[in-house]
Structure 1
Amino acid sequence: MSEHNKTGQVMAVIRRQIAARALTPGMKLPSVRLQARLSDVSTSTIVEAYARLAAENVITSRPGAGFFVAGSIAPLDLTHMTPVKERDIDPLWISRQALDAEDGKLKPGCGWLPSDWMYEEGMRRALRKMAREPASTLADYATSANSLPLRQLLVRRMANQDIKTQADQVMLTESGTQAIDLICRFLLQPGDTVLVDDPCYFNFHALLRAHRVNIVSVPYTANGPDLVAFAAVLQAHSPRLYITNSAIHNPTGAVLSPLVAHQVLKMAEEHDLIIVEDDIFADFEHRPAPRLAAFDGLSRVIAIGSFSKTVSAALRCGYIAARAEWVEALIDLKIATSFGGGRLAAEMLLQVLTDSGYRRHLEGLKLRLAQAMKNTHERLQQLGIRPWLMPPAGLFLWCQLPDSIDAVELARRCLRDDVVLAPGNIFSQSGSASTLMRFNVSQCSDERIYRSLQQALSDQLR
């Protein structure tokens, strides 16, 4: 590598550290000699890099004292808090590609149902009912914990999963993501360690980076987290929090076994670990899977969820179920960060969930997903793409690509055809899923997806 390129690399690393606030205004940079050793380059390369950064007013030189970060604090930039990646395969960029997709762009890598699979009829009925509500429902702030009738309904729904709770242990949030964000604000300090599954929902990584915590991962098996690895991580890293899906794991589709659940809870008790159990896919189940929150009784497990996957992604309403004293503190935190909750959304959701047609909608949706799972499995197998396991329910197939083909390159190639894929390593903290891919079966009916995949696979095998 040329000296010019080495200099540019050193400058890029320092800029990323400033953007991520690892280096803050006024902080002294390592000496030229120390920085050369840390960067494995010559001192002349560091001298040149520092001189150019000073010319750009990124750093300043104080004669006899050294080099210091200049200017005011940099805005938080999540894209610079991890190693540089191509933006078309970065986790946040994948989300933006899917969210901002124009008509005609295909989204087999996204995490939600097509709009015409959602409960549109029930939403329209609820909107008509809401139009007749008193002015206070349409215009006032919600109460601090938000709708009591909806929280009572959630208590009854959780009872069907053997989770025993009360309305004062439940609070409403704007989404499942806000629920995790509030919990992280409540329980974590910068520098704490958080455990996630490998693979796991990729936005967990981005959200946790925003909280400036250390992320460690444990391999996820067909029955839950690998227990040997789980024990080793607890011993080595003493994580404060573990975030997981127990029922219909994202992205694998696996289901936690009772044996693994009990072992996880036993180790959590021994190591004072708090568990966040994200139950966003509950309504896709054909029969309830084991829940950590049920076995634990919401002692050190916090259950969260929302209805963006089955009712409407436009209706932002989630929930947290936890110890009553934790819920009290979380309500204060929610008021401090967002003040009043979404009263209109909560009242709308209550109308939808108690609508006589919602159960029929779910039964039809589960049948439709089962057929889509079968069809997608068959089409992918024709291309040599095979599932890691066949999930009992849900949206996702976690698949192994043929001939060790790199999923990132495949995603980049298919993006040229307006096909947004989700390569495995965006879900993997360890980077061990380079030949895996997540497919959303509800978004895989278009023949153009398979044509694009076939051409991309052929290109890579040449």
Structure 2
Amino acid sequence: MTNTTSGNPSRAAGPPVAPLLARDAGETLMDQIVRSIRIRIDDKLLRGGSRMPSIRRFAASHGVSAFTVVASYDKLVAQGYLESRRGAGFFVRERSPLNTGERSGAAPASLAPLDAGEPQPLDVVWLIRNMFRGDPLPHVPGTGVLPPDWLDGAAVANALRSVGRQPGSMLLGYGTPQGFLPLRQQLQLKLAEHEIEAAPHQIVTTVGVTQALDLVAREFTRPGDTIFVDDPAWFLMFGSFAATGARLVGIPRLADGPDLARLAELAALHKPRLYVINSVLHNPTSTSLSAAKAFQVLRLAEEHGFTIVEDDIYCDLHPGSAVQPATRLAALDQLNRVIYLGGFSKTMAANLRIGFIATSPEWAQRLADRKMLGTLTSSDIGERVAYKILSEGLFRKHLDRVRARLDTVRSKVFRQLERIGLDAGPAPAAGMFAWVDSGSNTNLLAERAMAEGILLAPGSLFSPSQLPSTRMRLNVAAMQDPRIWEFLERQLGKP
């Protein structure tokens, strides 16, 4: 290979900056150049302050265009590996311990590993940190999303390319506070399928259901107000609501919905402002609200003056009322006392962060104003991508495939849980979760699992009380690795 450097290290980098480039390597020439230079800088073969070969010289030495070299150098500048000096060329950037890390993804020196020193407490933050850690755990039955290979990455990529071909002026500004209008029009059709009437001006897009819940809590509660949540329920909102100064009260969740007697008793005592509930495919049990209980919940809301926040993030995993009954409070109430939340992080792509709120026109305007105060707008580009996927009609077929695949693995997982002696109860008719009783403290079980590279979700995290529990949530789609089963059987199986 030709050495592309000169003899003076102060003028040009010493070792070769790239291997012979392969035209059939499965990655672009630019990516090969960038990867090669990064490796040499990380391995200290290219020292900080060394000048890179000129664009013309590099292009001639490696048989590539000057444009490819410019794009490669620019990308390395953006990644912090090179710096551009006007009139002098490109130089290897001096990299302090604060902005370096191993290629394996190790944390920078300024960000010590979270598990260094004292052990982390098992709380909501613990679970979130380990779900989103830089070096992902190999086995994650405690996660709340489908495995990547279950989703339609090709559809997302095609939609991104289509949006990218639009005029640049459409992609460079802010979106609108209420959200991309064609997407809201598409959501109007989606809601109509659930028998919920909502015009586009009644819909506000959000950065996932997480932001939707935060907007609603901040707009409709004040410090000291009470918010009811199911017990068990989705753990992330506990910390979010507590940060607003709200008091959280758990309502026991039964197989067909909340414990109505307890709901009535606590509503009279606490006078809540909001009640957040999964009516369809409740997280973490995958159970759904019965019609009889839905009417009673609405009656109690009217009697005690609280607003219902219906989180329907898992709606796309339900086959629909034509196959199984599915009662939604928003369909019965028509957005009078119910605020309806939905999104696509579970079934389209979590990275798009597309959620939405459907509510009365007055409340929609208030929530759009609240959204402006926090983030101005949500990502117009992401909303255009979601609109493209939804409007082309392929999303329905994708959902059919996902639900069929879940049906297949769910039955197998529940049989296997029963075989090793774990109590998961009857398998739900749809959904991705099993709410398993292990018969022992699942906080301790989660600590042992973490030591073996397995992420479990102990039941204590799903209750506002955060007390130790024998329950845990398992994602049936993430239970396919035999090592997970070997661990559970070794720790919990029948003697």
**TM beyond 0.5:** yes
Secondary structure in structure 2 of the residue aligned to 1:215:
strand
Opposite residue 405 of structure 2, the aligned amino acid is R
Q: Residue 185 of structure 2 corresponds to which residue in structure 1?
A: 152
Q: Residue 367 of structure 1 corresponds to which residue in structure 2?
A: 404
Larger RCO: 1 or 2 (CA < 8 Å, sep 6+): 1
For the pair shown, which has the larger CA radius of gyration, 1 or 2? 2
Q: Residue 317 of structure 1 corresponds to which residue in structure 2?
A: 354
Opposite residue 385 of structure 2, the aligned amino acid is M
Tell whether the 8 Å contact from 2:284 to 2:435 is kept in structure 1 after alignment: yes
Q: Residue 411 of structure 1 corresponds to which residue in structure 2?
A: 446
Query: For the residues of structure 2 that align with 1:153 and 1:211, how far apart are their CA atoms?
Result: 32
Mark the runs of 5 or more structure 1 residues left unpaired by the alignment: 1-84
Tell whether the 8 Å contact from 1:109 to 1:440 is kept in structure 2 after alignment: yes
Tell whether the 8 Å contact from 2:420 to 2:489 is kept in structure 1 after alignment: yes
Q: Which runs of 4+ in 1 moved over 4 A?
A: none
Question: 464, 469, 485: which one pairs with 1:429?
Answer: 464
Relative to the length of structure 1, the TM-score reads 0.78
Query: For the residues of structure 1 that align with 2:461 and 2:488, how far apart are their CA atoms?
Result: 19
Q: Residue 178 of structure 1 corresponds to which residue in structure 2?
A: 211
Tell whether the 8 Å contact from 2:314 to 2:346 is kept in structure 1 after alignment: yes
Tell whether the 8 Å contact from 2:130 to 2:137 is kept in structure 1 after alignment: no
Deviations 1:114-137 (A, max 9, x none): 111112111111012112111132
Tell whether the 8 Å contact from 1:193 to 1:239 is kept in structure 2 after alignment: yes
Question: 239, 254, 273: which one pairs with 1:240?
Answer: 273
Opposite residue 441 of structure 2, the aligned amino acid is D
Tell whether the 8 Å contact from 2:411 to 2:427 is kept in structure 1 after alignment: no
Query: For the residues of structure 1 that align with 2:291 and 2:119, how far apart are their CA atoms?
Result: 40
Tell whether the 8 Å contact from 2:272 to 2:306 is kept in structure 1 after alignment: yes
Deviation at 1:105, TM superposition (A): 2.1
Q: Residue 297 of structure 2 corresponds to which residue in structure 1?
A: 264
Query: For the residues of structure 1 that align with 2:301 and 2:179, how far apart are their CA atoms?
Result: 31
Pairs aligned (count): 374
> Does residue 254 in structure 1 map to residue 307 in structure 2?
no
Query: For the residues of structure 2 that align with 1:268 and 1:140, how far apart are their CA atoms?
Result: 42
Query: For the residues of structure 1 that align with 2:122 and 2:417, how far apart are their CA atoms?
Result: 21
Tell whether the 8 Å contact from 1:200 to 1:251 is kept in structure 2 after alignment: yes
Q: Residue 246 of structure 2 corresponds to which residue in structure 1?
A: 213
Query: For the residues of structure 1 that align with 2:385 and 2:177, how far apart are their CA atoms?
Result: 17
Opposite residue 406 of structure 1, the aligned amino acid is N
Q: Residue 328 of structure 1 corresponds to which residue in structure 2?
A: 365
Opposite residue 287 of structure 1, the aligned amino acid is G
- Identify if the C-alpha distance between structure 1 residues 90 and 103 changes in structure 2 by more than 3 Å, giving closer, same or farther: closer
- Identify if the C-alpha distance between structure 1 residues 432 and 260 changes in structure 2 by more than 3 Å, giving closer, same or farther: farther
Opposite residue 352 of structure 2, the aligned amino acid is L
Question: 445, 452, 461: which one pairs with 2:480?
Answer: 445
Query: For the residues of structure 2 that align with 1:416 and 1:452, how far apart are their CA atoms?
Result: 11
Query: For the residues of structure 2 that align with 1:434 and 1:312, how far apart are their CA atoms?
Result: 32
- Identify if the C-alpha distance between structure 1 residues 345 and 384 changes in structure 2 by more than 3 Å, giving closer, same or farther: same
Deviations 1:293-346 (A, max 9, x none): 111110110001110000001111110001100111111111111112210011
Mark the runs of 5 or more structure 2 residues left unpaired by the alignment: 1-117
Deviation at 1:234, TM superposition (A): 0.2
Deviations 1:108-157 (A, max 9, x none): 00100111111211111101211211113221111221211111111111
Query: For the residues of structure 1 that align with 2:128 and 2:161, how far apart are their CA atoms?
Result: 32
Deviation at 1:86, TM superposition (A): 6.8
Query: For the residues of structure 2 that align with 1:378 and 1:388, how far apart are their CA atoms?
Result: 11
Q: Residue 312 of structure 2 corresponds to which residue in structure 1?
A: 279
Could you say what the CA RMSD is over the residues aligned between the two structures, in angstroms? 1.7
Structure 2 matches for 1:34-49, cutoff 5 A? none
Structure 2 matches for 1:39-438, cutoff 5 A? 87=120, 89-100=122-133, 102-103=135-136, 105-288=138-321, 289-401=326-438, 404-431=439-466, 434-438=469-473
Tell whether the 8 Å contact from 1:122 to 1:355 is kept in structure 2 after alignment: no
Deviation at 1:224, TM superposition (A): 0.4
Q: Residue 457 of structure 1 corresponds to which residue in structure 2?
A: 492
Secondary structure in structure 2 of the residue aligned to 1:386:
coil
Tell whether the 8 Å contact from 1:201 to 1:250 is kept in structure 2 after alignment: yes
Opposite residue 377 of structure 2, the aligned amino acid is G
Secondary structure in structure 1 of the residue aligned to 2:223:
coil
Q: Residue 28 of structure 1 corresponds to which residue in structure 2?
A: none
Opposite residue 419 of structure 1, the aligned amino acid is I
Deviation at 1:204, TM superposition (A): 1.6
Relative to the length of structure 2, the TM-score reads 0.73
Query: For the residues of structure 2 that align with 1:453 and 1:425, how far apart are their CA atoms?
Result: 18
- Identify if the C-alpha distance between structure 1 residues 103 and 178 changes in structure 2 by more than 3 Å, giving closer, same or farther: closer
- Identify if the C-alpha distance between structure 1 residues 179 and 171 changes in structure 2 by more than 3 Å, giving closer, same or farther: same
- Identify if the C-alpha distance between structure 1 residues 88 and 98 changes in structure 2 by more than 3 Å, giving closer, same or farther: farther
Query: For the residues of structure 1 that align with 2:468 and 2:308, how far apart are their CA atoms?
Result: 24
Tell whether the 8 Å contact from 1:110 to 1:421 is kept in structure 2 after alignment: yes
Deviations 1:245-286 (A, max 9, x none): 101000011110010000000010011100110110111011
Q: Residue 56 of structure 1 corresponds to which residue in structure 2?
A: none
Deviation at 1:189, TM superposition (A): 0.6
Query: For the residues of structure 2 that align with 1:274 and 1:100, how far apart are their CA atoms?
Result: 36
Query: For the residues of structure 1 that align with 2:422 and 2:301, how far apart are their CA atoms?
Result: 37
Tell whether the 8 Å contact from 1:252 to 1:389 is kept in structure 2 after alignment: no
- Identify if the C-alpha distance between structure 1 residues 212 and 87 changes in structure 2 by more than 3 Å, giving closer, same or farther: farther
Tell whether the 8 Å contact from 1:114 to 1:442 is kept in structure 2 after alignment: yes
